[in-house]
Structure 1
């Protein structure tokens, strides 16, 4: 019996695995966040240092609440421009849980930015690190525990991580980025239990535009497209409004998956909090009560008296 195990969005896999059916499952693996635009370095290393300050970011996502074994993800990143002009460094840590599996990802990001014109800059990024995968089959309700595939857990299965990215932006008006946070395809095969854990490359395209309606109101439409072999193309479209450089509210649509409400509050020139709620529009929505994103960003910005002027991206 052969089982291919993917660690994200695999509720179908867990059901089939639990009853011991021989099945081949293909699907998306990378963590999925509605507020991805506030933790960009996790998907594009070229963004490291682009905000021009030392920036700490954290995101927590609880997906498909109420569904047993549903995904939970925690992401933390820090990035900053350093020393030589145009150089940025970052560190990203991601921890995912779904069903009987946990995966930890630790990567270091490097970026270099060149000026194409007075207001246009192009950044190139490199990401490198490691993944550790654990699967505890004892957490499954197995019909036939004697199946050899369940006889041995997967413990700290190591795989390397190498990613690339490019990020182009014009002043604070628009941006576009293309990246693959892990270009390596890795198969973890174990003869003793006849099982495989597979990781495949994901490719991301992001873009956004800032429209200043007036001094108090800015509008930002944005898109994210994700492609991975063996899964349908994923597409997110969002529209956010920034009021008085403090309060953000918006909506997001994920193709054939969910509709989301987003909100954020710039408490001061250093601290920002955010939240998003996803309403599942797929058939799986009949079995869960939605998904939640929580976001926090802290930055060491230069203080300007009586002024808060955060970047919208």
Structure 2
């Protein structure tokens, strides 16, 4: 199909004009193609299997603060996704534990997607609701005046509801999705002189093209865009690259996060039905190296079960490498 290729080339050309990129409030992942439920609820059940997975990102491994306690971001995500084909739906759950220095967040999110079949393609609309707890541990901060009564003691946390919406179109040769997280822009007051901290609405756009030059080999260029909803170049993060999969078994690729890092990804689908997936990523810092450590790492473990059915025996299918 000619038009998906033209769309990808146009998007890549526009991205190349961006001169400055700034990270977002949410955690980032180099293995985003396997973690789309994190930022788009409409992708629940998209690969046609009941899948559970664990993903851990250690960013800027070895980064140290002046206190020597370490301050590099560390993010753990557990997710589950269950297709409910008998009601044209899917449900998902995310648990996220994100830490960076003395601050961190924990969240539990429930996703629902309504799926419409269009010939052999699928259009899904998704919504996510949950709670996010943001906290700061004042005991890990370095005070210029120890014992200052204006500095709170211990750990202070605030929990607020969180709402997101998304849409996802999955065709045989390409996919495209868009979503907006933190629609209600929850506000967290963690004390101190900084006042309230607002979790601003964040937009995500992802697209990819599936090309099979020879039988058993799939080549997939892909892109992920993240931005606050003001869509300013200064609040936008762009990453993309190419993945290759051989016989739905081995996969690997290279991606680039604009003005941030070069990323290498690899993994394998194991067992007779390829239900067990192991993957890893290594990011080599390219931009702003003076304020970061040289490398970041990710590890992913997931397992797929057949989709739930109603009134008849479940058919076991091999989960295809979808995105």
Unpaired runs of 5+ residues, structure 1, are 1-25
Report the TM-score, using the length of structure 1 for normalisation: 0.84
Measure, in 1, the Cα distance between the counterparts of 2:163 and 2:26: 14
C-alpha RMSD of matched pairs (Å): 2.1
Distance 1:163 1:226, change over 3 A: same
Q: Is the 8 Å Cα contact of residues 42 and 181 (structure 1) preserved in structure 2? A: no
Matched, 1:162 2:158: no
Query: Which digits, 9 at most, give the CA deviation of each residue in 1:142-163, with x for residues without a partner?
Result: 2233556532455230111100
Distance 1:192 1:247, change over 3 A: closer
Rate the CA distance shift 1:245–1:285 in 2: closer, same or farther, 3 A: farther
TM-score under structure 2 length normalisation:
0.82
Matches within 5 A, 1:107-186: 107-116=109-118, 118-145=119-146, 150-153=151-154, 155-171=156-172, 173-186=173-186
What whole-Å deviation, never above 9, does each CA across 1:124-178 have from its counterpart, x for those lacking one? 000000001120121122223355653245523011110000000113x210000
Unaligned runs of 5+ in 2: 1-21, 65-70, 307-314
Of 249, 253, 268, the residue aligned with 1:250 is 253
**After TM superposition, which residue ranges in structure 1, 4 or more long, deviate above 6 angstroms?**
none
Pairs aligned (count): 283
The 5 Å alignment of 1:1-313 reads 28-68=24-64, 69-82=71-84, 84-116=86-118, 118-145=119-146, 150-153=151-154, 155-171=156-172, 173-189=173-189, 195-228=195-228, 229=230, 231-268=234-271, 269-284=274-289, 287-301=292-306, 302-303=315-316, 310-313=320-323
Change (3 A) 1:52 1:312: closer
Describe the shift of the 1:234–1:148 C-alpha distance in structure 2 as closer, same or farther (beyond 3 A): farther
Q: Quick one: distance in 2 between partners of 1:264 and 1:242?
A: 9
Q: CA deviation at 1:287?
A: 4.4
